[in-house]
Structure 1
Amino acid sequence: MTRRKLTADEVELWRKVAQKAERLHPEIPQAVHPTPLPKPKPKKNPKPRIDAFELGQTHRVKPSGNTLKPSVTEALRSAPVQMDVKAFNRMKRGKLKPEGKLDLHGMRVDTAHPALIRFILNAQAQGKRLVLVVTGKGKDRDEPGPIPTPRGVLRNQVPKWLSLHPLAQAVMQVSPAHISHGGDGAYYVYLRRTR
């Protein structure tokens, strides 16, 4: 919005009012005709400098929510392959037939652990290479709570037991079984050769 200029009558009226008014600071000399300030000129904005742009440079990475420990099955699937890759791929597809089977269904932890140790060490002593350990998928918990509880005690304990002494020296690879051999409720255990 621009200011309008004063008319001659308005300027004369202002001078009469200014002559009758008392000065606030009489020691400061007064100019006869105060010069109006010049009208401000609009400033031209310089063109903004465009820096190099990379796709996604302003994207903010959202912090991940609750990162829970991966399930035992996911951890075993992402574990590095220790055995022959061809044999491992055949085993994953269910093409290799297990030479022995241990069913831990219905067992408690205190009876399942010694049974597993006995079975694995006997299988290795007999020269077997691939055995199947059936744990079952486990039951769902009745009370959901704030702390996630893994489903199936034996299903989560058996891979840990296989990585501890005395079974660690006998076991080369542990992998979830193919659906034809029990799926997520069973594990393939590939044993080392005895020397």
Structure 2
Amino acid sequence: MRRRAPRTTLSEEERALWRRVAETARPLRDAPPERSAAEAVTAPQAPAAAGISPAPARPAPPPADIAPRILRPTGQPERPVAWRLSPGERPGPVTANTPGLDRGTARRLGRGRIAPQARLDLHGMTAERAHAALNQFIAASAAGGLRCVLVVTGKGGDARGGRGEGVLRRDTPRWLAVAPLCAMVIGVFEAHQRHGGGGALYVYLRRRR
């Protein structure tokens, strides 16, 4: 069987098609620059159905309260761990219903049966120096995983006559009730007599996470 020789010319129809292709072609130098792989990636989008508008985006949820939280031992609503002190208020003794402490711990602490794991004595310090020492002491104690520490302020003033109040005894609870220390503290309480009574404070720190 005689093999047909390959055709070397284009038909009139093929020439017309080629002319249309040539007219729409762009030189390579005019092509848009190549994007990087990162630029080429886009989030997949579902094709919109005919006549259906895309659903409006859901509003972002409100930011969650990121402050550490604990449950009250009596089953009452939870509260932030960060400790607060009302103006003019002074820490009192530990009670069985102290928020943030289970009843057993509160009872033993109130009776002086929990020995503080560390102690800071602010006697003889200026307010500025005492404040700096307290910040360092509480931060180091919290970082070390301690739970119960003692801060000795002294009673100051004229304790026998009942006049006045020592600056450190007055200001130390206030320092503990503001940032950055308040976020590390569950509660501050007047110490038992065996640990200094009204001249010292138990500072109960939250558990390190």
TM-score > 0.5 by shorter chain: yes
Q: Describe the shift of the 1:128–1:173 C-alpha distance in structure 2 as closer, same or farther (beyond 3 A).
A: same
> Is the 8 Å Cα contact of residues 73 and 184 (structure 1) preserved in structure 2?
no
The count of corresponding residues between Structure 1 and Structure 2 is: 121
SS in structure 2 at match of 1:102: strand
**Alpha-carbon distance, 1:139 to partner:** 2.2
**Alpha-carbon distance, 1:107 to partner:** 0.7
Q: Describe the shift of the 1:157–1:97 C-alpha distance in structure 2 as closer, same or farther (beyond 3 A).
A: same
SS in structure 1 at match of 2:120: strand
Determine the C-alpha separation between the residues in 2 that align with 1:99 and 1:71: 26
Q: 1:156 corresponds to which letter in structure 2?
A: R
Identify the residue that residue 130 of structure 2 maps to in structure 1. 112
**Alpha-carbon distance, 1:82 to partner:** 2.2
* Superposition pairs of residues 14-93 of structure 1, within 5 angstroms: 72-74=90-92, 80-93=98-111
Determine the C-alpha separation between the residues in 1 that align with 2:182 and 2:91: 18
Q: 2:179 corresponds to which letter in structure 1?
A: H
| Cα shift readout 1:65-98 (whole Å, capped 9, x = no counterpart) | xxxx866245x66895322221011101000010
Q: Describe the shift of the 1:159–1:71 C-alpha distance in structure 2 as closer, same or farther (beyond 3 A).
A: same
Identify the residue that residue 196 of structure 2 maps to in structure 1. 182
Kindly indicate whether residue 187 of structure 2 is the aligned counterpart of residue 169 of structure 1.
Answer: no
Structure 2 unmatched ranges of 5 or more? 1-86
Structure 1 unmatched ranges of 5 or more? 1-68
Q: 1:152 corresponds to which letter in structure 2?
A: G
User: Greater Rg, structure 1 or structure 2?
Assistant: 1
**Could you tell me the percent identity over the aligned residues?**
45
Structure 1 length as normaliser, TM-score?
A: 0.56
Identify the residue that residue 131 of structure 1 maps to in structure 2. 149
Q: 1:151 aligns with which of 159, 165, 173?
A: 165
Question: Structure 1: which 4+ aligned runs deviate by more than 4 Å?
Answer: 76-80
- C-alpha RMSD of the superposition: 2.6
Identify the residue that residue 191 of structure 1 maps to in structure 2. 205
Q: Describe the shift of the 1:114–1:70 C-alpha distance in structure 2 as closer, same or farther (beyond 3 A).
A: closer
**Alpha-carbon distance, 1:158 to partner:** 0.8
